[in-house]
């Protein structure tokens, strides 16, 4: 390649233009607006960020110290009396420090701006950066597991399970966040030395292997964007292209687990370990965007569409198998065995954001929004200090499995895990939410997600006031505008039917094109665009091939998936039966559902009937019974027992389930 100078020039332009978002493509027409240009206003996502800062971050720092993640790095730098041992089981435990640092860079930058940096956060940041710098080997290598003197394994000896390049990926992402948000390049120096070692060892002329866990691909592309050094993009490209040719050494899991059964370009459906798959696809989308590789981009769009059409849960969760943490077959979507790892939700959002940057697709953002408010949001407790690893859509009353497949501890969310990949991933993703809301384009500004925020660009600055996702009223007020025609584009979710837009005069029907409302005009400060997006309760069924959901119905309002918890209804949840028409009679109400946390939720009061309990026969005989009376006349006889009573079921947002005593929960109900 010979785009060295072009890339360098472009990278310089990126920073001269103030591109400081977590994802900052050089190619393409959409420039994500970062935390310097997008500030969340008083709304749902801002509330998440406050909880992150006040509860999740201090809790995570404490847990990382308790679990030894930071000590593992510190003892490499200073072995002390030599009696300490590597703590934990996994060679990727450094990444939990890296992911936390990535989030802290955002928090510290914001706190510096308001002059209120919390001491613990700054102390942890400084201490961690210090031990990371000190632990790095002279040749650039860094991994506290393989560097531990008592661990008799050599660096790079086990690419399939060593996770060393996965570690590098998270280190790079933390380093770039620190550089872009804080102007602190200490981690970037460490990350580049390690990345240079990886380039030397695994670059186009090196050992043609890949890491067993994709992640480094998107980090390397971002490092290319940050530095303008093309070898990082070349290495990311090589990792994407090498995979799928039986490159990973197999021991326990099949090639599909590692996305190594077919090249990404030829894969017909997302496969294998869910987090690995979505991280790989996110990185490959970055590669396709920067290289202008339309063939690769088309493959990724096809994989995304297939995933949305056949493999995503209603909540946006990905992965239906606890075994191998795998995605599963098409339409294999059992509610109670949904794995839907919280990290997979984050990975899908990372992929979706990049796909939107490359294509402008509003439909992709619709899916990202579903993931955000459901599969992702459910991963964290209302108090911000407990986590689901897997996110089922049903919990049976006698269920005993602990989240995270661990044998002891809490029945619902847990305060930490032996494999704690999800909690620090929540820390960084929540801290970065504003970096994934809006972009500037040659025409103007695209508002990708509706949420209360102020968005500042040279040509157009606006404030978005809304209680979305709980309410569909959105007011966009122009704060400043250039003397020029500028386009303001706003994504309108596909579930919106009807609705109106008002600019000054009377309201007009909302008529989005490809999911966008685009208003191009000379704006003046004080101009407003008022949207009214109706949010009726929708009843959803499932594709008939989803065997687990045949004859089932679920309720969704706006992007929020509902569920019932046993605490809110006296009738057995398994006996509730709803019709599609019941959605139209649902009452939407703000209710206090968690007194302890003081949480009001938008609840749905939906009319239902309560079935009589079914006979205690697991497999009733349909024909060929010894006597006529014992045979059920038809399948309908089994499924439709007499409805005893009418009731009103209280449904709450799925993301808030599991914050009370353990009990039954359902997203999908019997339909009538
Ligand atoms: Zn995880």
Distance 275 CA to ligand 1 centre (A): 8
Distance 337 CA to ligand 1 centre (A): 16
545 contacts 637 by C-beta, under 8 angstroms: no
Distance 621 CA to ligand 1 centre (A): 44
Distance 421 CA to ligand 1 centre (A): 4
What is the distance between the alpha carbons of residues 433 and 48, in angstroms, rounded to a whole number?
Answer: 10
The angle at the Cα of 211, spanning 428 to 129, to the nearest 5 degrees, equals: 40
Instruction: Encode pLDDT of 20-39 as tens digits.
Output: 899 999 999 999 999 999 99
What is the distance between the alpha carbons of residues 275 and 201, in angstroms, rounded to a whole number?
Answer: 25
Distance 408 CA to ligand 1 centre (A): 18
Instruction: Encode pLDDT of 435-445 as tens digits.
Output: 999 999 999 99
What tokens appear for 341 in the block? 């790892």
What is the distance between the alpha carbons of residues 655 and 266, in angstroms, rounded to a whole number?
Answer: 35
The angle at the Cα of 622, spanning 545 to 578, to the nearest 5 degrees, equals: 50
Q: Which residues contact 154 (CB under 8 A, 6 or more apart)?
A: 146
Distance 568 CA to ligand 1 centre (A): 30
pTM over 0.85: yes
The pLDDT of residue 92: 97
Confidence label for 13 from pLDDT (cuts 50, 70 and 90): very low
CB-count burial class (<10 Å; 0-12, 13-18, 19+) for 603? buried
Instruction: Encode pLDDT of 233-257 as tens digits.
Output: 999 999 999 999 999 999 989 999 9
Distance 417 CA to ligand 1 centre (A): 10
Mean pLDDT within 303-315? 98
Taking 90 as the threshold, does the pLDDT of residue 370 lie above it? yes
The pLDDT of residue 320: 96
Instruction: Encode pLDDT of 468-519 as tens digits.
Output: 999 999 999 999 999 999 999 999 999 999 999 999 888 999 999 999 999 9
Distance 379 CA to ligand 1 centre (A): 10
> What is the phi/psi pair of residue 588, to 5°?
-95, 125
Least confident of 188-192, 293-297, 634-638: 634-638
What is the distance between the alpha carbons of residues 236 and 218, in angstroms, rounded to a whole number?
Answer: 7
């Amino acid at each position: 390649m010979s785009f060295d100078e072009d890339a360098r020039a472009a990278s310089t332009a990126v920073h001269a233009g103030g591109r400081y978002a977590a994802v900052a493509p050089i190619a393409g027409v959409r420039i994500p607006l970062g935390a310097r240009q997008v500030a969340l206003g008083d709304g749902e996502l801002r509330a998440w960020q406050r909880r992150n800062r006040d509860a999740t971050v201090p809790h995570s720092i404490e847990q990382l110290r308790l679990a030894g993640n930071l000590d593992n790095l510190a003892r490499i730098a200073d072995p002390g009396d030599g009696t300490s041992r590597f703590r934990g089981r996994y060679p990727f435990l450094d990444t939990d420090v890296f992911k936390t640092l990535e989030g802290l860079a955002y928090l510290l930058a914001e706190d510096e701006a308001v002059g209120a940096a919390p001491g613990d956060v700054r102390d942890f940041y400084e201490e961690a950066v210090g031990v990371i710098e000190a632990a790095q080997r002279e040749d650039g290598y860094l991994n506290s597991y393989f560097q531990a003197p008592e661990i008799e394994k050599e660096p790079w000896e086990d690419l399939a399970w060593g996770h060393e390049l996965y570690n590098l990926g998270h280190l790079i992402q933390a380093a770039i966040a620190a550089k872009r948000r804080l102007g602190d390049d200490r981690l970037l120096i460490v990350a580049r030395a390690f990345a240079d070692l990886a380039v030397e060892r695994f670059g186009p002329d090196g050992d043609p292997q890949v890491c067993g866990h994709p992640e480094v691909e998107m980090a390397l592309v971002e490092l290319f964007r940050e530095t303008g050094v093309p070898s990082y993009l070349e290495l990311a490209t090589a990792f994407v292209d090498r995979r799928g040719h039986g490159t990973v050494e197999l021991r326990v899991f099949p090639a599909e687990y590692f996305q190594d059964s077919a090249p990404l370009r030829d894969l017909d459906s997302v496969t294998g370990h869910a987090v690995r798959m979505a991280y790989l696809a996110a990185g490959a989308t970055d590669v396709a965007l920067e290289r202008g590789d339309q063939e690769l981009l088309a493959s990724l769009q096809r994989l995304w569409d297939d995933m949305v059409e056949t493999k995503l849960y209603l909540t946006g969760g990905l992965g239906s198998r606890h075994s191998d943490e795998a995605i599963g077959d098409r339409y294999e979507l059992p509610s109670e065995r949904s794995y839907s790892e919280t990290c997979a939700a984050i990975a899908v959002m990372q992929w979706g954001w990049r796909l939107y940057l490359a294509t402008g697709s509003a439909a992709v953002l619709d899916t990202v929004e579903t993931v955000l408010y459901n599969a992702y949001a459910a991963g964290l407790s209302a108090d911000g200090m407990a986590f689901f690893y897997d996110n089922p859509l049903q919990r049976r009353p006698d269920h005993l499995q602990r989240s995270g497949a661990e044998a002891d501890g809490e029945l619902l969310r847990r305060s930490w895990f032996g494999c704690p990949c999800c909690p620090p991933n929540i820390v960084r993703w929540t801290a970065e939410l504003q970096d994934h809301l809006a972009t500037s384009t040659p025409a103007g500004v695209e508002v990708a997600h509706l949420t209360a925020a102020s968005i500042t660009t040279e040509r157009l600055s606006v404030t978005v006031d809304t209680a979305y996702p709980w309410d569909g009223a959105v007011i966009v007020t122009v704060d400043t505008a250039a003397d020029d025609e500028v386009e303001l584009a706003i994504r309108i979710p596909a579930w919106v039917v009807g609705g109106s837009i008002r600019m000054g005069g009377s309201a007009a029907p909302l008529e989005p094109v490809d999911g966008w409302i685009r208003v191009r005009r000379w704006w003046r400060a004080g101009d407003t665009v008022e949207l009214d997006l109706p949010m009726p309760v929708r009843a959803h069924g499932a594709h008939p091939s989803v065997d687990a959901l045949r004859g089932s119905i679920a309720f969704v309002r706006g992007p929020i998936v509902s569920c019932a918890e046993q605490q809110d209804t006296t009738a057995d949840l398994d006996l509730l039966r709803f019709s599609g028409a019941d959605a139209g009679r649902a009452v939407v109400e703000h209710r206090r559902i968690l007194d302890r946390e003081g949480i009001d939720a938008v609840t749905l009061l939906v009319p239902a009937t309560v079935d009589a309990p079914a006979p205690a026969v697991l497999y009733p005989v349909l024909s060929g019974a010894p006597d006529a009376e014992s045979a059920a006349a038809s399948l309908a006889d089994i499924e439709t027992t007499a409805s005893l009573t009418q009731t009103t079921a209280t449904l709450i947002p799925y993301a808030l389930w599991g914050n009370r005593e353990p009990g039954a929960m359902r997203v999908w109900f019997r339909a009538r």
